[in-house]
Structures are given as structure tokens and as C-alpha cells.
């Protein structure tokens, strides 16, 4: 039985992680931590767990954690996580990190987008990017997994077959995506206050969103030698809408040659044929169809000379906690779908 600690258990992704592990046949939650002001019985912090989990959420004690856990799901904010990850690794605990602190291999790019010096650059090269459908072999046996961002997960799965086969131009890929309000996290703000969010949708992070370099880095890795020496440029524009959870991505690509919608469907069906959590659709996907699941629904098509690939995921599951459990299953040699179907 895998012993799981959740650091930052009082947030949305922490709660989602608890929920998934409660249904996992080969893993159990052994330690929950949060900031002191957010501690208490888990059923009091999240009433959904009343009668299901009576564990306390405690202030972090690294010594105790290393005694009772094999792996830590680190649900801490960007910039904070890298202060704890090296200590966890030194204590012999595997780490699946939800923040962006280990996704970008270039520390200078991280510092540009996150506005702070990276204090654990030594572990950047040791971390595997935790998108199993594309990097499963690199994930196996790793001690540190950088869980992908929610927007990059949707965008990369929507375009991977095109990038891998060299079918599209990479000087400009446009990703127009809409997320639910839970993407902003648990702490309230004026912008995400109910009277502002209700019956509303708006763009944010215009030209500056931190997921852009993550998308460009991984898209370049997927394209590989086909685009050696060339940068992949992505124009990413996120929006937030008046729904709780989910991301719908619409990704626009310029094809290098002639292609039909039928050929695209065959390409995607073949590419993801053995992937349990990717489903290829014959129409545009909807966030309600994947809510609460670890699935990604994709629909590629050809419109007015452009390839448009739509994807839908749950930002809290495939975009965070579910993907983390999928990664956990892989690094411990378990059936990849355990706890997720």
C-alpha cells in the first residue's frame, strides 16, 4: 500500500487528491498538511468528507511526513514549493509537484515569468514532465515529477499528433482557452467574487500568461528533431467563465500541406489508440462531459485552410490531481488507471 502525504491539503487540488485516493485500492492518505490557519479535521475544512475521512490537517512537520509517507503530493503555490521539495527528496520521499517550479528547464525563463530567483535549479534537470500520454517512459521510476499546468495539458494533448508528425507550421500556434472559476484557486478575490463572475466571461493574462513558456518548451520537445533549432511560438489567450470547473481549448494551427478532417480523425485515433484517458470525438467536446474525470476529449477538424483542434478536460482532475495520481501509479509500477476510472 502506497502511503501518500498531501501538502497544501486545504485547497481545491488538495481536496480533489483526497477524494481520488479514498477510492484507490493500492494507496492511502497518511498525512495531510496546510498553513496553521487552515488546519483542522478534514471533514470540517471540507464537509464532503464527513463520514469518509476523519484525519486531521496539520501544520507541516517534515520529520513526521518522511516517517509516514512514500510520496508527497505537493499542492503548494509557485515559488513556495521549491523551498520544500529538496528537503522531501533528501528524506527519501518521492514528490509530485503541482506548482510550476520544476516544469521549466531554463531557470532564466522561470525567473522572467515568475519574478523570482529559482532556488533549486539543481533539481530542474532531474524532474520529469508528468504528462503520461507523451512522457510515460521518462516518468517511470522518477523521484520528482513536475505535474503539468492545466492549460498546457489541454493544449499539448490537442496538438501532439500534429507536432509529432510534423504536419503544422510552428512559427505561430494559437490557443484560445476558457477555464472555470476554480482555476483561480480557493482564496477569494474581487475579480472572482460571485457578482462579478455570474453570467460573465473575460480574458486575462493577455500576452503574459505563465503557462506560455511551458507550452512552447514541451511543444518543442514533442516536435523533436523535425524542428531542431527552431522555436515553437504559441499565442496563448486564456479566459475565465461562469462555471466551476473545466477547460475548453480551441487550438488553431497552419497545416504544411493538404489535409482533410477525415485524415485528422484517423491520425488522432491511431496516435491515442492505447491511451485510456484520451477519447477522440466526432464533434466539439464539452466541459460537462469530462467534469470530475481524468479524461481528455479531443476533436480535430479542418476549417478554412486551418487545422482546429478542440480539447476539454477537468482542470482539477486531468489538469491537476487526477494527473498526479496517474503519475503516482506509473512511478510505483501500478496499473495506470487505478483510482481514476
Write the pLDDT tens digit of every residue in 314-331. 999 999 999 999 999 999
Q: What pLDDT score does 111 carry?
A: 94
CATH T-level fold of 151-315: Dihydrodipicolinate Reductase; domain 2 (3.30.360)
Only one residue has cell 491520425, namely 267
Does pLDDT of 268 surpass 70? yes
Q: ∠ at Cα 338 (333, 340), nearest 5°?
A: 135
- pLDDT band, residue 224 (cuts 50/70/90): confident
Does pLDDT of 99 surpass 80? yes
Q: What pLDDT score does 65 carry?
A: 97
Q: Tell me the residue ranges of DSSP E strands in 163-286.
A: 173-179, 201-203, 234-241, 247-253, 278-280
Does pLDDT of 305 surpass 60? yes
Please compute the mean of the pLDDT values over residues 190-206 and round it to a whole number. Answer: 87
Q: With b meaning 16 or more CB within 10 Å and e meaning fewer, what string describes 219-249?
A: bbbbbeeebeeeebebebbbebbebebbbbb
CATH number of 2-126: 3.40.50.720, 3.40.50.620, 1.10.150.120, 3.30.390.30?
3.40.50.720
Cα–Cα nearest to 16, from 313, 333, 293: 293
Does pLDDT of 225 surpass 80? no
Does pLDDT of 229 surpass 60? no
Q: What pLDDT score does 226 carry?
A: 60
Please compute the mean of the pLDDT values over residues 162-172 and round it to a whole number. Answer: 94
Q: How far apart are CA 95 and CA 20, in angstroms?
A: 17
- Of residues 191 and 332, more confidence is placed in 332
> Which phi and psi (to 5°) does residue 258 adopt?
-75, 140
Q: How far apart are CA 262 and CA 140, in angstroms?
A: 35
Q: What pLDDT score does 105 carry?
A: 93
Please compute the mean of the pLDDT values over residues 277-299 and round it to a whole number. Answer: 98
Which residues carry out catalysis? 150
Does pLDDT of 191 surpass 90? no
- pLDDT band, residue 159 (cuts 50/70/90): very high
Q: How far apart are CA 334 and CA 325, in angstroms?
A: 11
Domain ranges across the chain:
2-126, 151-315
Please compute the mean of the pLDDT values over residues 110-127 and round it to a whole number. Answer: 94
Does pLDDT of 186 surpass 90? no
Only one residue has cell 484525519, namely 55
Most confident of 72-76, 180-184, 226-230: 72-76
Q: Collapsing DSSP states into helix, strand and coil, what is residue 275?
A: coil
Q: What percent of the chain has pLDDT over 90?
A: 89
Can you read off the three cell numbers belonging to residue 85?
A: 521539495
Q: What pLDDT score does 156 carry?
A: 98
The number of residues in the chain equals 341
pTM of the full structure:
0.96
How do residues 237-252 score in pLDDT, each as one tens digit? 999 999 999 999 999 9
Q: How far apart are CA 87 and CA 267, in angstroms?
A: 44
Amino acid at each position: 500500500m502506497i502511503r501518500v502525504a498531501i501538502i497544501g491539503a486545504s485547497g481545491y487540488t488538495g481536496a480533489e487528491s483526497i477524494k481520488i485516493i479514498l477510492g484507490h485500492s493500492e494507496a492511502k492518505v497518511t498525512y495531510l498538511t496546510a498553513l496553521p490557519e487552515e488546519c483542522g479535521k478534514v471533514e470540517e475544512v471540507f464537509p464532503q468528507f464527513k463520514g469518509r475521512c476523519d484525519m486531521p490537517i496539520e501544520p507541516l512537520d517534515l520529520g513526521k511526513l518522511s516517517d509516514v509517507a512514500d510520496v508527497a503530493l505537493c499542492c503548494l503555490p509557485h515559488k513556495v514549493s521549491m523551498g520544500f521539495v529538496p528537503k522531501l527528496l533528501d528524506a527519501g520521499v518521492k514528490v509530485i509537484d503541482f506548482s510550476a517550479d520544476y516544469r521549466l528547464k531554463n531557470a532564466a525563463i522561470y525567473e522572467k515569468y515568475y519574478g523570482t530567483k529559482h532556488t533549486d535549479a539543481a533539481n530542474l534537470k532531474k524532474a520529469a514532465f508528468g504528462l503520461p500520454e507523451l512522457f510515460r517512459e521518462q516518468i517511470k521510476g522518477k523521484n520528482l515529477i513536475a505535474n503539468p499546468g492545466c492549460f498546457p495539458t489541454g493544449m499539448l494533448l490537442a496538438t501532439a499528433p500534429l507536432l509529432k508528425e510534423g504536419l503544422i507550421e510552428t512559427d505561430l500556434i494559437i490557443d484560445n482557452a476558457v477555464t472555470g472559476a476554480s482555476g483561480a484557486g480557493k482564496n477569494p478575490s474581487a475579480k472572482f467574487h460571485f457578482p462579478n463572475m455570474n453570467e460573465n466571461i473575460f480574458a486575462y493574462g493577455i500576452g503574459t500568461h505563465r503557462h506560455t513558456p511551458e507550452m512552447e518548451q514541451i511543444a518543442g520537445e514533442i516536435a523533436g528533431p523535425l524542428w531542431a533549432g527552431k522555436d515553437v511560438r504559441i499565442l496563448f489567450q486564456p479566459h475565465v467563465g461562469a462555471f466551476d470547473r473545466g477547460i475548453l481549448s480551441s487550438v488553431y494551427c497552419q497545416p504544411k500541406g493538404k489535409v482533410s478532417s477525415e485524415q485528422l480523425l484517423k491520425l488522432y485515433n491511431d496516435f491515442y489508440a492505447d491511451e485510456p484517458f484520451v477519447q477522440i470525438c466526432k464533434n466539439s467536446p464539452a466541459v460537462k462531459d469530462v467534469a470530475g474525470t481524468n479524461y481528455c476529449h479531443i476533436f480535430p477538424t479542418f476549417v478554412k485552410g486551418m487545422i482546429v483542434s478542440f480539447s476539454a478536460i477537468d482542470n482539477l482532475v486531468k489538469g491537476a490531481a487526477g494527473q498526479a495520481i496517474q503519475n503516482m501509479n506509473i512511478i510505483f509500477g501500478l496499473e495506470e488507471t487505478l483510482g481514476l476510472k
